[in-house]
Structure 1
Amino acid sequence: MTIEESETRAAPAGLGATKETLEDYTLRFAPRTYRRWTPAVVGASALGGIAYMADFSIGAGIGLTHGTGNALLAIALAAVIIFVTGFPLAYYAARYNIDLDLITRGSGFGYYGSVLTSVIFASFTFIFFALEGSIMAQGLKYAISLPLWLGYLVSTLVIIPLVVYGMKVLAKLQSWTNPLWLLLMVAPLVFLVVKDPGSVQRWLSYEGEGGAGLSTAAIMLGAGVCLSLMGQIGEQVDYLRFMPPRTAENRRAWWTSMVLAGPGWVFFGAIKQAIGVFMAVYILDAVGKAAAVEPIEQFTGVFTEVMPSWLVVPLALVLVVLSQVKINVTNAYSGSLAWTNSFTRITKRYPGRLVFVLVNLAIALILMEADMFSFLNGILSFYSNCAMAWVVTVATDIAINKFVLGLSPKQPEFRRGMLFAVNPVGVVAFLGSSLLSISVYFGLFGAGLRPYSPLVAVVVAIVLTPLMAVLTRGRFYLRRTDDGIIEPLLDEDGNPSGTHYDCEVCGEAYERPDMTASATGGTICSLCLSTDREGRHILPAQP
């Protein structure tokens, strides 16, 4: 069976999704029949999504404010935290082929409780879409004098035709453009360092605005900005859910791709942030602080030193546009999944993912027109508190509650009727962590503690998540332990079963992990169950 045939076979009837190629298994387990890519292709596609230019601006902003030494330590600290917390999420997505919202449901939040985190993640995608779109508009203005307002519109509209068909097109786009992107980014920097070795020493010795040397407060403030990127693991997971089953033959490639494209994305991001500091310091005297944080200015300044002047602006523009397109197709795609998840669960209606592609892009365009780029670090610092509370709570539930305490079921569950509506374990931990860290961020506990709000978010989530599991004795994870189908969810290799069952509502066949027994006697797919307004297909709770 070809990919096209499997997509047609899997298309849900009468639910607003006319072709699964367009919907890309929104709200669903990603079936084997669709996951025909190798681990290397999935990994390369996921890594293509981190081509964004925001890292250069983030690193530059931290470095120019706090100095290179503080910036590098802040970047390293954030990278370690993001890697450790991202690992369990990436593993569950790749192993069980579900996105981060579906993982969150069964990892402490409950069927409706994870709507909170879906909104947080959707916010991440349109904030970073707006950021990258602003950078592209800056490039268009610099290169061809296009007004910023029009550049914002162009950077939004160009994404729509690329994001319509989901993973099938995204995999090709990311794989084909990765080599050119790497060449344009790396080669000029290498030539510059060889040509001007003293630039490295000037970079390392730069002390920032205050010039006060290393400072714990400065490191934590910088790390707080970097940690706003913790939500990026959600976008990596949207690719990793299409990993093929792990077998003895592909085990090494599977693990390598999962680690590098999952939590490992942050090390590539950290390198870009450090490069952003380097380029900002290099061009600071020539363009001033305000322009030194703009990637188009950074790369134009570097390119000027290593290539003919007539080639500088065109290549810098190509790099900026290419980077923006690579990441913003991912932002638009992931945002549409998050919005659709939330809307369908709350309203029991499924309008289709493409509706929310447009919603997400409209919000991002409004942010761009409001000039969000000028107050970037403030937005990211505030947002990072919520993102960290969410990701650390889910990661802690997986790592500690599932594998250490045994209070959370190890096998992920996302289907309606199998989960309680709200699980206080994740919801209380998330709200407690985010509210406390935001209070610290706004100085409610004193100015001295303000730089440590990211640390508060992480520590509170790590402590509250297992504490709530112990206090509730894990009673609010599963409403049912039996989904009414005799065949196990996993095969003998521990991979999700590929057996097909017919849905009694839409009449289509779906693989075992997407199905449950219906209270009316047959079997029903997860999407039809989600849109069951009367609840007549939902199995009764077990005692």
Structure 2
Amino acid sequence: MSTAESRLTTTTPPTAAPEKSQATKETLEDYTLRFAPRSYRRWTPMVVATTALGGIAYMADFSIGAGIGLAHGTGNALVAIAVAAIVIFVTGFPLAYYGARYNIDLDLITRGSGFGYYGSVLTSAIFASFTFIFFALEGSIMAQGLKLGLGLPLWLGYAISTLMVIPLVIFGMKALSKLQVWTTPVWLVLMVAPLVYLIANDPDTVDRFLSYAGTDGEGGVNPASVLLGAGVCLSLIAQIGEQIDYLRFMPPRTEANKRGWWTAVIMAGPGWVVLGALKQAIGVFLAVYILAKVGADAAPEPIQQFKGAFDAMMPSWLVVPLAVALVVISQIKINVTNAYSGSLAWTNSYTRVTKHYPGRMVFVLVNLGFALALMEADMFSFLNSILGFYSNCAIAWVVTVATDIGVNKYLLKLSPLQPEFRRGMLHAVNPVGVVAFVAASGLSIAMYFHALGDTLQPYSPVAAAVIAFVLTPLMAIVTGGRYYLRRTGDGIDEPLLDAGGNPSAVTLDCHVCHQSYERPDLTACATHEAIVCSLCLSTDKVGDHVLPAQPITV
């Protein structure tokens, strides 16, 4: 470890105001709300990738696939799953790259990619909603497992599935990396083994699966059914935010590690959707397999799907315990990520708006409270409706940011290529992203609720994606890119990037909290000949440290 790294990791907590002390001490545990410094990022690319992929071990994919397949038939379901996977992969790639390359989370990326310092609060709320919606979905699935295996009432299962993740999520990336790495092999064996066994020992199951026409009885493939199904799958597009919460801890990209670095970024970034799409297809397969035994109401439940699959390959006394074990492991793996990422999103938004850092654990509990309320309201019974509505907002957000990176930065060159997230460097609101997002999500939601007629209703996710894709560069052209940066220099002579294009590891001291931070996390102070860190800027209530704006040139 270098001298700078040692100094950063062993510095004692500051002795400034209590709020600054709490914020600084807690955010140094895993660099919540801020740039993740090189001194903390000691994991190899493959460890980061494995940890990130461990977070998508959720069972919701099986339910989502089953719901689409049972309603619209296998053909429509498989095409819908494929369409959604392609959109998610394409839009997730630029976001994953920026998170891994510049070591910032999706909220910090969003700030500098068309939304502005306060404008991205809107999308933080969208992402936080994603985390508690999917926490509730996974918690419902676990409660179903506990009811089948232990006879616990659902309400108690909901409470257990919520409370058990709190001790695990307190410790951030260090604890999560160990949990995900050690549980992934067990999860993979339990998930894949029954599927392989069924196909090998009963090939007719494949024929029944492929020929299933769905409850609408139409058979074949039709655009409306495909788009309705794809809209539900696309609710998962915001999962890239949780992947980036891990990818921001990637080591610097160098000539020596670039092949492994790119492999890890693609695999754990947009590549998560490959495994997700496979799980959705498996969900259709297992639902069709058990449909005659359990009925259409229970077939989308993963605990019933895997109980039916295990039933065919092992002694009856092992069936329920293994099915429950799979569900519980999956729920823990994903819901520690949901609780962790959701707490970051809520805390980030609250800190920016109020300029007060309340502690991340407050919002762990807030997020879990929302999730528990959804579970107790039996969200599982109207799952597709919730996800179909939510997907419009998520698509509009992710496509807007991806378009800003891919088109506005690299093609039009109207958006600054290097991401910016610090207060004072960005305008409060950038109309490029905000207008594109509000228009895309608003119109697509209106379509989803039949405001523009029944014929257009299935096309709401397409509208969200197309409007966001068109309006984002159009707004950049109209505004001339003037509302991205409030100022072009941060008052520090030391460059932000090193010779290899990676964020600089040079450390400087913040004069407010008396901690050392790496160069990308700092700006000059407006009223002192000193340096201030990004979090102290965020909690500066009077703007005493915030650099003044440069005049907007026309």
Query: If the TM-score is normalised by the length of the shorter chain, which range does it land in?
Result: over 0.9
**By how many angstroms is 1:355 displaced?**
1.1
**By how many angstroms is 1:542 displaced?**
1.4
Alpha-carbon distance between aligned partners in 1 of 2:529 and 2:8, rounded to the nearest angstrom: 27
**By how many angstroms is 1:19 displaced?**
3.4
Alpha-carbon distance between aligned partners in 1 of 2:71 and 2:11, rounded to the nearest angstrom: 56
**By how many angstroms is 1:9 displaced?**
3.0
3-state SS of the aligned residue for 1:494? coil
Give the corresponding residue for 1:111.
Answer: 117
Whether the 8 Å contact between 1:101 and 1:338 is mirrored in structure 2 is yes
Give the corresponding residue for 1:341.
Answer: 348
3-state SS of the aligned residue for 2:255? coil
**By how many angstroms is 1:87 displaced?**
0.4
**1:439 equivalent among 429, 441, 446:** 446
**1:367 equivalent among 374, 397, 415:** 374
| 1:389 is aligned to 2:396 | yes
| 1:212 is aligned to 2:214 | no
**1:131 equivalent among 133, 137, 140:** 137
**By how many angstroms is 1:7 displaced?**
3.8
- Where structure 2 has 5 or more consecutive residues not aligned to the other structure, the ranges are none
**By how many angstroms is 1:49 displaced?**
0.4
Give the corresponding residue for 1:179.
Answer: 185
Whether the 8 Å contact between 1:8 and 1:20 is mirrored in structure 2 is no
| 1:168 is aligned to 2:178 | no
**By how many angstroms is 1:192 displaced?**
1.2
| 1:281 is aligned to 2:288 | yes
3-state SS of the aligned residue for 1:165? coil
Identity of aligned residues (%): 72
| 1:499 is aligned to 2:506 | yes
Give the corresponding residue for 1:303.
Answer: 310
3-state SS of the aligned residue for 1:524? strand
Structure 1 stretches of at least 4 aligned residues deviating more than 2 Å after TM superposition:
1-14, 17-23
Closer, same or farther: CA 536–19 of 1 in aligned 2, 3 Å: closer
Whether the 8 Å contact between 1:22 and 1:166 is mirrored in structure 2 is no
Alpha-carbon distance between aligned partners in 1 of 2:7 and 2:266, rounded to the nearest angstrom: 31
Compute the TM-score of the two structures, normalised by the length of structure 2. Answer: 0.96
Whether the 8 Å contact between 1:78 and 1:227 is mirrored in structure 2 is yes
Please show how residues 8-19 of structure 1 align to structure 2 within 5 Å.
8-9=10-11, 14=18, 15=20, 16-17=22-23, 19=25
Whether the 8 Å contact between 2:115 and 2:431 is mirrored in structure 1 is yes
The Cα offsets for residues 419-473 of structure 1, whole Å up to 9 and x where unpaired, read as: 0000000000000000010011111111011000000000000000000000000
**2:469 equivalent among 442, 458, 462:** 462
> What is the identity, as a one-letter code, of the residue corresponding to 1:435?
G
Q: Report the number of matched residues.
A: 543
The Cα offsets for residues 17-58 of structure 1, whole Å up to 9 and x where unpaired, read as: 363477521110000110000000000000000000000000
> What is the identity, as a one-letter code, of the residue corresponding to 1:9?
T
Moved more, 124-133 or 437-446: 437-446
**1:353 equivalent among 344, 352, 360:** 360
Give the corresponding residue for 1:95.
Answer: 101
**By how many angstroms is 1:215 displaced?**
1.1
**By how many angstroms is 1:383 displaced?**
0.3
Alpha-carbon distance between aligned partners in 1 of 2:140 and 2:12, rounded to the nearest angstrom: 38
3-state SS of the aligned residue for 1:504? coil
| 1:201 is aligned to 2:201 | no
Compute the TM-score of the two structures, normalised by the length of structure 1. Answer: 0.98
- Where structure 1 has 5 or more consecutive residues not aligned to the other structure, the ranges are none
Whether the 8 Å contact between 1:108 and 1:426 is mirrored in structure 2 is yes
**By how many angstroms is 1:521 displaced?**
1.5
Alpha-carbon distance between aligned partners in 2 of 1:8 and 1:267, rounded to the nearest angstrom: 41
Whether the 8 Å contact between 1:21 and 1:166 is mirrored in structure 2 is no
The alignment yields a C-alpha RMSD, in angstroms, of: 1.3
Whether the 8 Å contact between 1:413 and 1:419 is mirrored in structure 2 is yes
Whether the 8 Å contact between 2:158 and 2:372 is mirrored in structure 1 is yes
> What is the identity, as a one-letter code, of the residue corresponding to 1:475?
R
Alpha-carbon distance between aligned partners in 2 of 1:195 and 1:417, rounded to the nearest angstrom: 64
Moved more, 411-420 or 16-25: 16-25
